[in-house]
Amino acid sequence: MKKKNLFSHLIITTLFLMLFVTLKTYALDYTITFSGTGASTTVGSVIVQNLTKGTSVTVPTGNVLNLNDAPNAIDQLNANDETIRVYPNSVEGKSTVSFFAKQAGSTQLNAFSIDGRKIAGIAENLQTGVNSFQLSFPKGSFVIQVVGNGYTYTTKMINQTGTARKPEIAYIGTVKQATSNPQKSKSSTLGITTMTYATGDRLLYKGTSGNYSTIVTDIPTTSKTTNFDFVACTDADGNNYKVVKIGTQTWMAENLKTTRYRTGEAIPLLTDNTAWAELSTPAYCWYNNDAATYKNTYGALYNWYAANTAKLAPTGWHVPTDAEWTTLENYLIANGYNYDGTTSGNKIAKSLAATTDWNSYTGAGTIGNDLKKNNTSGFSALPGGYRDGGGPFRVVGGGGAWWSSPEGSTYAWSRYLNGYGSDLGRSYSTIGYGFSVRCVRDN
């Protein structure tokens, strides 16, 4: 009798080992939560861009982001009724199992250890649709079995970080099957927004809180909380700007578009080419004198005299010095933001340029070559063009230029990006030009 029991036990163990070999494991599974500090502690919706893959999702207020090397489980389950997914979450050993219930009725969910012992189980009367349960297991390998009304699923999970002393299974909820529009059925019932992710992908998060907006970039290697340091950046016209922290500096992530100084006085708007060429006082303009087309995307173009007033930037901000631009450049180079990952030489243009609006080019490492790989720094530079010293407008879509806080009376330092280039350029430009302005936070 003992020999028979031992033989049966060996067969069960062998079957479970075979199941573990044949079933696919989704080991990469991170949960990203969001917090806010500074001017606000409340985080609204978060736009997430996978800069490596060129994909994006929006995480609604209160949701968490699930990064997984498998496709979205809820999407898969709505498309394929034969699918079950387990999401091993490394936070406190809690995971989620989701599966499609073909018919309403009593359903049994059991968990077995690798030697075939049942360690936990739960029975629920389920609705038709995608059902989810939370698994709180210790560290180890397990088989999950679901037996419902006319369907059976089996899958496995490997929990590498579990801390639960007692295995537990708890019902989370049901997302009912769609009748007309499947997208509407996939609400935030579970509080989870899923994005496909692979090790080494760089993500860009745009967090908002009322009028505040902050950009953070990261390459997650585990579940974590991403914090947005919300900073006030509001000009005299009431425009609120996105900001991004890069190294020790906090920069505007948009071009300035104010028509008034921080003191409230108006900056003269100048449209005439001849007058612009002869001007020796502050002025601004919109590209091609077309505010409706260019203002909100590219901001304004300011002459040197406006940038030199020390009152153009919003309160708490200033037009960056040439040295501050150099600090930004050196940080990006030293921290591997060159397009080829090296840490020497100036090849950081793609890391600064936005993923939209630039003209396409084929040269390796240029801004215009594969736009979706741009903006790993979050600086989000756009090709707003410029106005030359004689008055005409140039190269919108192909390049952009930004003033440094001016030095000298005839020339001043500026930085520029070309869509066909791979570097952040530096130029000693005549003060008659009209360039964009990016401000940096005081101190």
For 368-401, the pLDDT digits (tens) are 999 999 999 999 999 999 999 888 999 999 999 9
Q: Which pLDDT value is given to residue 176?
A: 57
Q: Is residue 22 scored above 70 in pLDDT? A: no
Q: Tell me if 250 sits within 8 A of 241, measured CB to CB.
A: no
DSSP assignment string, 226-295? EEEEE---B-TT--B--EEEETTEEEESS----SB-TTSPBPPB---HHHHHH--S--EE-GGG-HHHHH
How high is the pLDDT of residue 427?
Answer: 93
Mean pLDDT over residues 71-86, rounded? 51
Highest mean pLDDT among 26-40, 100-114, 283-297: 283-297
Helices and strands, counts by H and E, the chain: 8, 26
Alpha helix stretches (DSSP H) within 47-112:
73-79
Q: Dihedral, CA atoms, 428, 234, 243, 32, nearest 10 degrees?
A: 180
Residue 11 has pLDDT above 80, yes or no: no
> Which of 412, 405, 390, 401 shows the shortest CA–CA distance to 436?
401
Q: pLDDT confidence of 91, banded at 50, 70, 90? A: very low
d(CA 209, CA 264): 26
Q: Tell me, what's the pLDDT at 340?
A: 94
Q: Both tokens of residue 193? A: 């927004």
What distance in Å separates the CA atoms of residue 344 and residue 253, rounded to the nearest whole number? 25
pLDDT tens per residue, range 304-337: 999 999 999 999 999 999 999 999 999 999 999 9
Give domain limits for the chain.
Answer: 2-32+65-193, 231-441
Residues found in the chain: 443
Residues 6+ apart with CB under 8 A from 42: 36, 209, 210
Q: Residue 174: pLDDT above 60? A: yes
Which of 123-137, 169-183, 187-201, 399-413 has the lowest average pLDDT?
A: 169-183
pLDDT at position 190 is: 46
Question: Parallel, antiparallel, or unpaired for β 94-101 and 84-88?
Answer: antiparallel
Q: Is the pLDDT of residue 36 over 90?
A: yes
Q: pLDDT at position 94, please?
A: 76
Residue 7 has pLDDT above 90, yes or no: no
- Cβ neighbours of residue 374 under 8 Å, at least 6 residues apart? 51, 350, 351, 353, 354, 355, 358, 367
pLDDT tens per residue, range 395-431: 999 999 999 986 656 788 999 999 999 999 999 888 8
| CATH fold of the domain at 2-32+65-193 | Immunoglobulin-like (2.60.40)
Residues 89 and 65 sit within 8 Å (Cβ to Cβ): no
